[in-house]
Structure 1
Amino acid sequence: MNGNPAARGYNKATVLDAVLSEAPLTRTRLIQLTRLSQATVSRKVEELRLEGLVVERGFDEVAGRGRPSTYLDVPRTAGHIVGISLGAQTTCVLAMDLRGREITQAIVPTIEGGDMETTAEWLADLVAETTEPAQGPLRQVVAAMPSRLRNGSTGPGRPESRKVFLGQPFQNALEDRVKAPVLLDSDANASLRGILKDDAHIGNAALFILSSVLNFASCIQHEIANGRTPAFGELGVLFSGVGNETLDGLLSGQGLLRFAQSQGLALERIDALWSEPQAAPRAEVVEAFTTAIVTAVSAVAVTLDPESVYFVGRLSPLVEEVLPEARRRLSLSLPSAPRSGSCRRSSDYLWPEERPTPDWRRLKPSSGNPSSSPKTRTSVCSPVGFSSASSDD
């Protein structure tokens, strides 16, 4: 009796997922995790062993009597996964085996002015160079990308919209070049997924990435919210409440630098705004930034009603500086403001307690199909809202 093919595939996926999660582990532990019968586990382990996805490793030193326990593990030859963080200024490529063990990584300046085909070719070459030391086949590429990239112009103009990079054409272009399945998501969504992965109690939340460009993500009932059109989440086009400035003009690194320079601050990099403060003109810039923060939080508070609002990215030190005043203004204008907290870096948790840093490198398939979507872990801030954390672009 052959049974149900779908059920057999599910059991196999369940066994592999458990091995990936806790390897090396014994068969007894595997039975406990999967809640499958001993016979079923033995059959699926044998199938996975023949496919090269699982190996048996015996240990001589075991506690208790009886024969030594056999431990199941995932060999490096089973393949590898690549994670890409494509920022407006820098791009990080990280290769790891199926257990999430780092193999190698590379951080390089992001290509400027490239169209879809050029960017896909550039990323494919970068993946090939980074994975050269890896063993086994490339199982999947996971890319977290900003919704907008620099257009390569020499002037300080606003970056053009590049949401097309998050669409099927770019995914197909990259898949054709790396010869492996590709999963694309926005960097804001990826960061928020990391928070949701760490805290299953979060229902509704919003996240802003304040780096070279402003990006936004939200979740409803613990699920990432996706809009019907590319306009969804483009909060940067809204007016900030400061003159004719948009939120993108004051909550992105490029926009805030331009605004600071227009106010008389001699800055070459936006980081100097908090590392080398200049009294009078700086106060006007900080005031404008505070107003934009309040406007952004108010906009999502009255439309999405989030429990928490998170801020990550290059401008996080400035967010932390203005948090007290922003909270005060929000308490005056909103009946109930989202919960607040702050942290300078993704590894520093100030509310409610210090916790281990979520590591986006821990990518591994979530099912028995090695090409299925990995569990992406990204650098995130404290999961108790209205928080700030710095991250690379």
Structure 2
Amino acid sequence: MTGNPTSRDYNKASVLDVLLSRAPLTRIELIELTGFSKSTVSRAVEELRADGCVVNGGVDEVTGRGRRSTYLDVPGTMGHVVGISFGMRTTCVLVADLRGRELRHVIVPTVDHQEVRNAAEWLVGLMAEASKSAEGPLRQVVVAVPGRVLGGTEIFGPAESMKVFAGPGLQRALADLVNAPVLLDSDANASLLEILTDDATLEDAALFSMSSSLSFASCIDRELLRRRTPAFGDIGVLFSGVGNEVLDGLLSTSGLLRFARGRGLDLERIDDLWLHPHEEVSRADVLDAFTTAMVTAVSAVAVTLDPGSVFFVGRLRPLVDEVLPEVRRRLDKSLATAPEVKAPTQVLGLSVARGAVYACLGMARDRLRDAVLEARRQGQHTEQSAPAF
């Protein structure tokens, strides 16, 4: 017998939602978080236990008299997800269970691939290495790249050294090699998602990721903003306020390296700008241009999106730390209400991979919830047959 989901099905799906995001939990905590009655929670837990979605996860520690409570947890056999930061210099693959607990990560130098298929096979090899201790099915893969991404499948505006990945080729190759949904996203979106997950007080924010190319992300009411065209987020084409330089020419590693060399600084890599001493006048000129570009970038998003906070992350963060007081001084002088400008501490590669994992978890959990509800439509009795997880 088929039919629409009942209130009992929705209650079960809601309990699963809470367990996936907050487990391990006691039954008392589960009742408090869902607002359901004890009998409703108990029935949902037992049905989820029969489906293989819930196991006992130990007991709480109590002192004195009183009954110890058993924790409910989500078993590793429910599956895992993979978040990947695929950068120009460094690649990080992070594997987590459906509770978001990190199982293992691998960080390696990015191999220079001339063919998309070879790069996809290389990434799948890293996934296999990082997933050795993972249980259950692979539920979702998200790959964060330095560039703009449309629809989770097509890459636009990658750095010059990664031009081969422009278009949908990488997503298609990966989807052909793994038995799970695969989506692409920008490194900026992944970085902002990691910050949002760690700070529940953030609502409206913007982020500039300064890696091989400049990428941008923003959120309103904690929801990442996405548009239907690849032009959205291409803030690097705006003039920086320094000569004819655009923002990407001063707020990306490749652009700033070119600019600094043009000002007479002998740099092999952009890191040399802050790791080694240089001629003071030329270095001051570069820092002033970098500061002006940051002020221009913040001003642009302040008048269009009105974010409460603006973050700068990526390989140029040491330089951001150096000029941030001057950036704030100029913004306070030019804007009636300046957003808070921050340079959060992130681990290059790993923080972006974590953001990609958080994106994976949101999609995987939504599908599991839908599977609970779809079981009714497919004629499966929850008391007799488990959803097709």
TM-score by structure 2 length? 0.78
Separation in 2, partners of 1:21, 1:222: 17
Separation in 1, partners of 2:346, 2:121: 31
Q: Any idea what SS the aligned residue of 1:5 has?
A: coil
Q: Residue 19 of structure 2 aligns with which residue?
A: 19
The code of the aligned residue for 2:269 comes to R
Q: Residues 65-214 of structure 1: matches in 2 within 5 Å? A: 69-147=69-147, 148-152=157-161, 160=163, 164=167, 170-214=170-214
Q: Residue 325 of structure 1 aligns with which residue?
A: 326
Shift in Å, 1:212: 1.9
TM-score by structure 1 length? 0.78
Separation in 1, partners of 2:270, 2:190: 25
Equivalent residues of 1:140, 1:371 under 8 A apart: no
Unaligned runs of 5+ in 2: 148-156, 348-353, 371-389
The alpha-carbon distance between structure 1 residues 297 and 248, as it changes in their structure 2 partners (threshold 3 A), is same
Q: Any idea what SS the aligned residue of 2:256 has?
A: helix
Q: Residues 1-393 of structure 1: matches in 2 within 5 Å? A: 4-5=4-5, 7-57=7-57, 59=59, 69-147=69-147, 148-152=157-161, 160=163, 164=167, 170-278=170-278, 279-343=280-344, 345-346=345-346, 360=355, 363=358, 365-366=361-362, 367=365, 369-370=367-368
Provide, for residues 170-202 of structure 1, a one-character-per-residue CA deviation record: whole Å limited to 9, x for no partner.
445423322112343222112222333344554
Shift in Å, 1:248: 0.9
Separation in 2, partners of 1:283, 1:244: 19
Q: Any idea what SS the aligned residue of 2:258 has?
A: helix
Separation in 2, partners of 1:244, 1:63: 69
Equivalent residues of 2:236, 2:247 under 8 A apart: yes
Q: Residue 383 of structure 2 aligns with which residue?
A: none
Separation in 1, partners of 2:6, 2:113: 46
Separation in 1, partners of 2:325, 2:47: 58
Q: Any idea what SS the aligned residue of 2:174 has?
A: helix
The alpha-carbon distance between structure 1 residues 212 and 256, as it changes in their structure 2 partners (threshold 3 A), is same
Equivalent residues of 2:146, 2:212 under 8 A apart: no
Equivalent residues of 2:310, 2:342 under 8 A apart: no
Separation in 2, partners of 1:303, 1:161: 33
The code of the aligned residue for 1:307 comes to G
The alpha-carbon distance between structure 1 residues 333 and 161, as it changes in their structure 2 partners (threshold 3 A), is farther
Equivalent residues of 1:102, 1:361 under 8 A apart: no
Equivalent residues of 1:96, 1:361 under 8 A apart: no
Higher helix share: 2
Shift in Å, 1:128: 1.7
The alpha-carbon distance between structure 1 residues 58 and 237, as it changes in their structure 2 partners (threshold 3 A), is closer
Number of residue pairs matched by the alignment: 352
Separation in 2, partners of 1:60, 1:333: 55
What is the aligned-residue identity percentage? 60
Shift in Å, 1:114: 4.4
The code of the aligned residue for 1:123 comes to L
The code of the aligned residue for 2:119 comes to T
Unaligned runs of 5+ in 1: 153-158, 348-358, 373-393
The alpha-carbon distance between structure 1 residues 183 and 318, as it changes in their structure 2 partners (threshold 3 A), is same
Q: RMSD across aligned C-alpha pairs, in angstroms?
A: 3.2
Q: Any idea what SS the aligned residue of 2:91 has?
A: strand
Q: Any idea what SS the aligned residue of 1:306 has?
A: coil
Equivalent residues of 1:237, 1:248 under 8 A apart: yes
The alpha-carbon distance between structure 1 residues 302 and 56, as it changes in their structure 2 partners (threshold 3 A), is closer
Separation in 1, partners of 2:103, 2:369: 18
Q: Any idea what SS the aligned residue of 1:255 has?
A: helix
The alpha-carbon distance between structure 1 residues 142 and 47, as it changes in their structure 2 partners (threshold 3 A), is farther
Greater RCO (CA < 8 Å, at least 6 residues apart): 2
Shift in Å, 1:43: 3.0
Comparing 256-265 with 330-339, greater Cα deviation is found at 330-339
Separation in 2, partners of 1:135, 1:202: 34
The code of the aligned residue for 1:317 comes to P
Separation in 1, partners of 2:314, 2:196: 18
The alpha-carbon distance between structure 1 residues 281 and 65, as it changes in their structure 2 partners (threshold 3 A), is closer
Shift in Å, 1:238: 1.8
The alpha-carbon distance between structure 1 residues 243 and 361, as it changes in their structure 2 partners (threshold 3 A), is closer
The code of the aligned residue for 2:284 comes to A
Q: Any idea what SS the aligned residue of 2:323 has?
A: helix
Shift in Å, 1:68: 5.7
The alpha-carbon distance between structure 1 residues 317 and 124, as it changes in their structure 2 partners (threshold 3 A), is same
Separation in 2, partners of 1:333, 1:108: 43
Equivalent residues of 1:112, 1:151 under 8 A apart: no
Separation in 2, partners of 1:282, 1:69: 62
Shift in Å, 1:2: 9.0
Shift in Å, 1:266: 1.3
Equivalent residues of 2:120, 2:174 under 8 A apart: yes
Separation in 2, partners of 1:78, 1:301: 43
Equivalent residues of 2:294, 2:327 under 8 A apart: yes
Equivalent residues of 2:60, 2:71 under 8 A apart: no
